Amino acid sequence: MANTLWKERRTRKLLGSAGFSWLFDAMDVGIISFVAAALAKDWDLSAGQVGWLTSLNSLGMAFGAAAAGVLADRYGRKSILLWTLLIFSAASGLSALATGFAMLCVLRFIAGFGLGGELPVASTLVSESVPAEERGRAVVLLESFWAIGWIAAALIAYFIIPDYGWRVAFAIGAVPALYALYLRRAIEDSPRFGRVKPAPLRSRIAAVWSGEHRKSTIMLWVLWFTVVFSYYGMFLWLPTVMVIKGYSLVKSFEYVLVMTLAQLPGYFTAAYFIEKFGRRFVLVLYLAGTAASAAWFGTADSTTLLIAAGICLSFFNLGAWGGMYAYTPELYPTSVRSTGTGLAASFGRIGGIIAPLLVGFLVERGVGLSVIFGMFFVMVLIGAAAVLFLGKETKGIEIG
């Protein structure tokens, strides 16, 4: 009994400690979406420049995910988690001092590198540190901190940016550097990693694409690409889309805050269903819900319908994210788990690079929002089909 209680406390502490780092990640990504809307007015940026700003953040995340995933299988999950946290918080704080668009783009790339590296490493650490019967739920609950971070970003945007400016919002993003000092003592490395001898990089990449894992790798790369493409294409543009629809900047921030609140029940319901019905069920259901919500949002013609569609979009899309982060590390053995997860996340970030640029390109050419969100509808359904036809269930299975 005492040993069980100790393990439960240890799991809660790990989940809370890693969760707060995830919260800060989400806050930074969320802030850039709101800052982009404010910068478009302050610096007179075109839709294409806004797309470049958000895409460079995703480009950094792509490099960061691949690098951190590879390094975490060599040097451990904890140390790489701390370094990526420091990198993104420092770059975010320095973004407040940007004197021009080019300088801000460079800093956002560096911040993205840290962000992209931290997320797959944190999910791998939690996945390897909890029992099989709690593993999926724990990782989805870890992901739920993302919603809290987005809510924090929306609150900062609503209360800070209109009165104090976007530089103060970026300065707040430097806070996680202090949190890293606590995290250094609060968490331990994965016990599974300590029992495995690190393999050479070439062997790890070959293992990810070996006959044993090739089908899962293809499925994950399609899943990650479609989910990241749709998320960053829709949510980073959401405040700007609301402005395009005729709402003021402040009113836009207010409505996006309301939509963002729906992310939390999306995570919590996914956390419940993932251990009851399995990973594939959650992913297919929530991706289908995301696709339907995207189509609805693109055609909504009143404030009520727009907010309702946005709430559903947040609910289903973020629930799908939770399922994806829980599912991915379970498909690889410990020796290549972080590498496989990092490479899938890195490939997915390519979608995060393309989507904001593509939306900016389409908006500049007068393409309607119904067509743009119809594109997201199709993309998300492709991800759902990949899981349905290529995915295997991992619920309750002990990971090697």
CA distance linking residue 296 with residue 140, whole number of Å: 26
pLDDT in tens, 36-95: 878 887 888 887 787 788 788 889 989 999 999 999 999 899 899 889 988 988 998 999
CA distance linking residue 63 with residue 18, whole number of Å: 21
Contact indicator for 57, 111 with CB cutoff of 8 Å? yes
Q: Higher model confidence: residue 228 or residue 28?
A: 228
> Has residue 2 got a pLDDT over 50?
no
Q: Which of 249, 260, 51 is nearest to 153 (CA)?
A: 260
Question: What's the pTM value of the predicted model, to 2 decimals?
Answer: 0.85
Most confident stretch, 16-25, 33-42, 216-225, 367-376: 216-225
Burial environment of residue 41 by CB neighbours within 10 A (0 to 12, 13 to 18, 19 or more): exposed
CATH architecture, domain 11-182+206-390: Up-down Bundle (1.20)
pLDDT in tens, 152-194: 888 888 888 888 888 998 888 888 777 777 777 778 887 788 7
Least-confidence region, from 117-121, 242-246, 311-315 = 242-246
pLDDT at 69: 92
Please state the φ and ψ torsions of residue 224, each to the nearest 5 degrees: -60, -40
pLDDT at 7: 59
